A and B are shown apart, each in its own frame.
Chain A
Amino acid sequence: MTVLLLVAAALVALGAGVATGARSARAATVGALACLVFAPLVAEPLPEMPVALFRIVAGVLAAFLLLVAGRRAGDAAASPLGLPATLAVGGAAFAAGLGATAVGLPAFGPGAAVAAGLTCLAVALLPVIRARDAFRLGTALLVLANAGLLLRGGLAGTPAALEAMVGGATLAALGAAVAVLAGTAATATGSLALPGEATDRRRPPA
């Protein structure tokens, strides 16, 4: 495992922590950007340049869509854990991920990818389950999907070009779905708050 690989993995993990733990929507978007852009570089061997660029552009697009979604986001809906606690959780997961491969978890990919993936998974899971705000939920969902891609790369090795491209397209599609969700929530409720369980039922047209 090279130092550069470890640095890229640490940046992904840091980005994931900031994305899910920061109070400010802008900071969270920057964190998501780092998480998504550096993720394709956490691979050994590195993917071909066009494939890596495709993934990076897809990550930038997804982060841009998050920026659009977060225009009305307030600080009140931020993670109750706060940034320091989220980063601590992420740090622990990162260490666990590195340790897992060190003690013999059979994997075809680099341990750094497992560590970064585990970090993304650990910090995203709580907001995915608990978030009541479209922007926070969307950010966590993108980090979660990125976790799946990283763990896949860590366990099974660098993905084939087509798989990596479909992964990038999926991140962009999820970003679009999150932007639509935020826009719909803003139109329906005047904020990004997600309504609770539905109580009314479909009524037939008059």
Chain B
Amino acid sequence: MNPLPFLAVATAAAVLATLLRGRRRSGTLVGLAGGGAALAALILTAPGEALALGGGAVGMTAYARVLLGVGLAGGLLVLAVSRLATWEGPAPAALLIGVAGLTIVLGVGGAVPGLLAAGATSALAGAVALAHPATPLRVGALAREVRGATLALTIGLLAVSLAPEAIGGLAVQPQVAGLAALAAGLILGHRFGAIPLHARIARLTDAAPASALPVLLALIPAGWAVVLLGWAPDTLGPVAPVIGWDGTLVVVVGLATLVLGTFAALIQDDLLRVVAYTVVLDAGVVLLGFSSLDPVGREAVRAWLVPFVATRAALIGWVIAFRAAFGTARLSEARGWLRRAPALGVGLAVTGAATVGWPGTLAWDARLAALRAATDGPALLVATVATLGTAVALARVLGMGLGRADPRVATAPGELARVPAGLRAAARALRTPDGRRVATLRAASHEARPLLEMNRTPLRAFLVVLLAGLALLTALGAFGIRDAAAGPDLPVAAPVAPVP
């Protein structure tokens, strides 16, 4: 099956979710059901089959399928966690717009259409996520997002147009090729929030609904990275003469981002900010993998991006659940949280392990390969140590949970499941031989809402553990990530014969 059914379902669900973003019940139903239907359609989509369009083709590679699948599954779980805590209407629409747009980004042949689609997806997803409800903070963040997306796509168009293969004559000018690589590095740095371009990430984290952050901070930037990584090594590298001061600059920015991002994540009190700065510090991995202009680095980053997307979704879902459980996202106000929420602790520990990985896992090996492609000697050592920053930041959060519980934490609801008295009585009545089964079941059905209301905290914790499990699976290389990342970059934009 070609990507058309998935694209149609995701687009239709995105339109409906956008229209219903102000309605709590129908918005939830459309968002979750539409996302689920899109995930089912994606699973049924066979890699390799292409949809003929405009003289070219939109295909679905194995890599695009696994990246979109993990992003969509993680995003849906985060939406479910969020729905059990509060209602963030625009988030389902932002997720669905993101995956529909990324289908084009990853499936259309060539860097230029990919960049154009990535720019449009970034602007539209940002617009939907930040427009409702309107506040001055969100207006500022939206202006920044639309401006950044347009600038990135324009710079990308110029960089790709300057590529040696495109205009032959410039192939002998390594400075021009270096300039194109630098421009592409600038785009990647901006989309992932590399220091000093990290303001986008911080503002988005402050302004956007938390459940829209997995798609805005991780999934869509991953799409930009895949497009640029598919273009640059083939057209600009891997030839040493091209990597002059331009390559060095990107490496320095990547290393600085890893080190400074770690410090920034360690000094944050707001947990969403902690997660945001783990995204910032991981921008260094993308930049270093890109700067090598080497297919080995490219494949490593492509493989690493899948666990990156899954772990960020897991961390954001964890923060939403934490905030709902304790009424705060500030670490200083929730000391001793681990005793009250051990399942959340397990979720965080597993997600932390998946984020960093260990030797032999995909997350660890791919990250190290990306770093090795660009650095050597002491620089490699610094980069390797700095990439453990996420684990240190998460260990700090776990450590704060071990102390004496703050009053706010001590009075928070626990994670044990509870059953309403009415439901217990119905269960007892069903066990008696002369019980009126229909009437009892009808009475029990009225207890469904109280059952949900009493168990929001354990349900959120369960979903967080599921998110952590998804993150761990991707970190271990499940879903054939290694093979998919080493496969063809994008479908070839060759004319496709019309289907009879």
Contacts and interface: CB of A to CB of B under 8 A. Distances in A.
Interface of A: 51, 106-108, 121, 128, 134, 137-138, 141, 144-145, 147-149, 151-152, 155-156, 159-167, 169-170, 173-174, 176-178, 180-181, 183-185, 187-189, 194-198, 200-202, 204-206
A144 B132 CA distance: 27
A189 B139 CA distance: 9
Nearest to B203: A198
Secondary structure type dominating chain B contacts: helix
Contact of B161 (A144, A156, A181): A156
B112 A152 contact: yes
Interface residues of B, number: 65
Contact of A204 (B127, B157, B328): B328
B139 A181 contact: yes
B291 to A, nearest CB: 24
Contacts of B161: 151-152, 155-156
Interface stretch (B118-126, B350-358, B367-375): B118-126
A148 B157 contact: yes
B56 interface: yes
Contacts of B110: 160, 163
Contacts, number: 173
Contact of A196 (B86, B119, B140, B270): B140
Contact of B55 (A155, A161, A194, A201): A161
A160 B120 contact: no
Contact of B143 (A51, A183, A194, A200): A194
B167 A162 contact: no
Given A134-B143, A145-B154, A185-B139, A177 B56 contact: no
Interface of B: 53-57, 86, 104, 108-110, 112-113, 116-117, 119-120, 123-124, 126-128, 130-132, 134-143, 146-147, 149-151, 153-158, 160-162, 166-170, 203, 205-207, 270, 272, 323, 327-330, 493
Contacts of B330: 204
6 contacts: A106-B168, A151-B158, A151-B161, A160-B56, A177-B126, A202-B206
Contact of A166 (B104, B142, B203): B104
Nearest to B168: A106
Contacts of B170: 106
A170 B117 contact: yes
A61 to B, nearest CB: 13
Contacts of A200: 137
Contact of B140 (A108, A180, A195, A201): A195
Contacts of B124: 173, 176-177
Nearest to A172: B120
